[in-house]
Amino acid sequence: MRIAPSPTGTIHLGLARTSLFNWAYARHHGGTFVLRIEDTDKERSRADSEAAIFSGLRWLGIDWDEGPEVGGDLGPYHQSERIDRHLLVADQLLQAGRSYRCFCSRERLDAMRTEQEARKETPRYDGTCRELDPAESLRRAEAGESFTVRFRIPEGSTVVEDLVRGTVTFDNSEVDDWVMVRQGGNPTYNFVVVCDDADMQITHVFRGEEHLVNTPKQVLLYEALGLKAPHFGHLPLMLGKDGKKLSKRHGSVALSQYREEGYSRDATVNFLARQGWALDGETEIFSVQQLVDAFEIGDVSKAGSIFDFDKFAWMSGEYVHRESPAELAEHCTEFMVEAGLVTREELSADPARFEAALLLGQERVRLYSEMPATIGFLYMADDAIEYEEKAEKNARKHDDRLEVLGAYLELVTPRLQAGDSAEELREAGKAFVKERELKFPQLFQPLRCALTGKAGGPDLFDIMVWLGPQSAVARIEQGLRRLI
């Protein structure tokens, strides 16, 4: 199996899902998964986007058995390096009369297309050069006239046995005599993809549904070459909110963006797998191994799916909530550092303390990137705590806030200094509220504001223990001054 991306941009969600399904199928069936770079469009190909494809695939955990950076027996794995072979095949086809030179000018073709469109006809080649005498054709070519090479579509119809869609039949009269080789000798996609898939012994081609209409051209080419076409499976498209093919205008479609926005990697794989496929209709959260074990191309649904960003975020949360402290630390470090809260060195100097902090935020975030906003107050200097409007409003609702907080400070200071556990503090705190016949918010809202500056967040006793006596006391004292 293979994927054959063109290095013309970053790896997008659609390519990521297509890659995942190809890879899962190959792994499930013990096949070989090949990565081939389709860089025939020199205008648009860029080296950095090639690197982005590699890192995107690796991030997803998709490894390739053959391809760039790993090698293999059927290389080279850049299409541009296989051009000699392409030209050789093109020449064979020309000799055999399965294709022909077309001397029509771009201008004439463009004008014709415009006219056809104006007449509401399907734009297509009119066959002007189709029956040119081969000798005449050769003479003109040798005289230096520029030409393209077109594939000669035979009469009849072409059947595609699609592993997702079943039997699809095309009338050959609907298939245009397409260009195989451009003016100047550069072969085109539909041609080279067949050459390379054949040469690389690809047996299964899974790709997006937008390629379905290309398939008869390719099947016919395999026939002309005397080769057996691979099995095709056309995957349903991933759609934007408006039901149209997912693209930039639906927001971010670059895989790297989700990584940067702090989505769980495993959740990303899981969610991508759920677009057009389900494990059993019940299980939403499943591992890559489960995907590989269960994946069959015939189970892929035919209808396109609208990409639900809400559910994606939910799924990320499901994974984040299940991570071990060490995993969480690994994933959150860069976000904490980037937020300017701590340095990498400070975090690694006391990993246990960092993990304890993350534990306080874990169930409150769905993306790693939300961690700084959730537990950032822990790492701020005591006098740098900012009171959110809502937090301060909550605290000020209570007219007795200062005396309650003051009294509580007297109670908690020695206990903190004595190293009471959060549980001990919790009991003492509740007893304090009960003795004074207070409602919980009377103590907890001012206390939360003083300690965190936020209206919501982790358990206050856990926070105080983490902060330690000095810092906790300083923040409460500060609250006493600021909440006057």
Partner RNA sequence: GGCCCCAUCGUCUAGUUUGGCCUAGGACACCAGGUUUUCAUCCUGGCGACUGGGGUUCAAAUCCCCAUGGGGUCACCA
Q: Find out whether 172 and 216 touch, Cβ atoms under 8 Å.
A: yes
249 is a site residue for RNA (CB under 7 A): no
- Class of residue 449 by CB neighbours under 10 A (exposed 0-12, middle 13-18, buried 19+): buried
277 is a site residue for RNA (CB under 7 A): yes
Task: Give min distance, CB of 343 to RNA, in A.
Answer: 27
Question: Among residues 3, 239, 255, 329, which is the contact residue for RNA, using CB under 7 A?
Answer: 239
182 is a site residue for RNA (CB under 7 A): yes
Question: Among residues 48, 73, 155, 280, which is the contact residue for RNA, using CB under 7 A?
Answer: 280
Smaller CB separation from RNA, 350 or 427: 427
CA distance 141 to 403: 98
CA-based torsion, 90, 95, 96, 97: positive or negative: positive
Question: Among residues 22, 270, 275, 316, which is the contact residue for RNA, using CB under 7 A?
Answer: 275
Exactly one of 228, 248, 393, 439 is catalytic; name it. Answer: 248
Q: What is the DSSP pairing of strand 2-3 with strand 34-35?
A: parallel
Gyration radius (Cα) of the chain, Å? 32
Task: Give min distance, CB of 156 to RNA, in A.
Answer: 14
Binding residues for RNA restricted to 336-395, rule: CB under 7 A? 363-364
Smaller CB separation from RNA, 120 or 481: 120
DSSP 39: -
Smaller CB separation from RNA, 173 or 348: 173
Smaller CB separation from RNA, 58 or 393: 393
402 is a site residue for RNA (CB under 7 A): no
Task: Give min distance, CB of 173 to RNA, in A.
Answer: 9
CA distance 347 to 379: 10
E strand segments, 8-129: 34-35, 99-102
Q: Which of the stretches 59-67, 126-134, 236-244, 350-358 binds RNA when contact is defined by CB under 7 A?
A: 236-244
CA distance 24 to 18: 10
CA distance 471 to 451: 9
Kindly write out the interface string for residues 185-224 of this chain, putting x where it contacts RNA by CB under 7 A and - elsewhere.
-x-xxx------------------xxxxxx----------
Nearest-10 Cα torsion for 344, 349, 355, 361: -50
E strand segments, 135-276: 148-151, 157-162, 166-171, 179-181, 204-208, 231-235, 238-239
Question: Among residues 28, 29, 85, 124, which is the contact residue for RNA, using CB under 7 A?
Answer: 124
Tell me whether residue 248 is one of the annotated catalytic residues.
yes
Binding residues for RNA restricted to 283-312, rule: CB under 7 A? 284, 298-299, 301-306, 308, 310-311
Task: Give min distance, CB of 74 to RNA, in A.
Answer: 18
> What are 415's two structure tokens?
């206990």
Q: Find out whether 152 and 98 touch, Cβ atoms under 8 Å.
A: yes
Q: Find out whether 459 and 425 touch, Cβ atoms under 8 Å.
A: no
CA distance 173 to 297: 30
Binding residues for RNA restricted to 407-466, rule: CB under 7 A? 426, 430, 440-441, 444, 448, 455-462
Q: Which of the stretches 24-32, 33-41, 50-58, 403-411 binds RNA when contact is defined by CB under 7 A?
A: 33-41
Smaller CB separation from RNA, 346 or 424: 424
Smaller CB separation from RNA, 337 or 422: 422
Question: Among residues 74, 83, 87, 109, which is the contact residue for RNA, using CB under 7 A?
Answer: 109
Smaller CB separation from RNA, 81 or 171: 171
Question: Number of residues in contact with RNA, rule: CB under 7 A?
Answer: 88
Question: Among residues 28, 113, 265, 415, which is the contact residue for RNA, using CB under 7 A?
Answer: 113
Smaller CB separation from RNA, 72 or 441: 441
Q: Find out whether 238 and 273 touch, Cβ atoms under 8 Å.
A: no
40 is a site residue for RNA (CB under 7 A): yes
List the Cα angle 116/122/123 in 5-degree steps.
Answer: 55
**Rounded alpha-carbon distances, angstroms, from residue 139 to 131, 135, 143, 145, 476:** 15, 6, 6, 9, 94
Binding residues for RNA restricted to 148-177, rule: CB under 7 A? 148, 165-166, 168-171, 174, 176
What are the helix (H) ranges across 61-105?
A: 83-95
Q: Which of the stretches 67-75, 88-96, 118-126, 250-258 binds RNA when contact is defined by CB under 7 A?
A: 118-126
CA-based torsion, 402, 408, 414, 418: positive or negative: negative
Show which residues are catalytic.
248
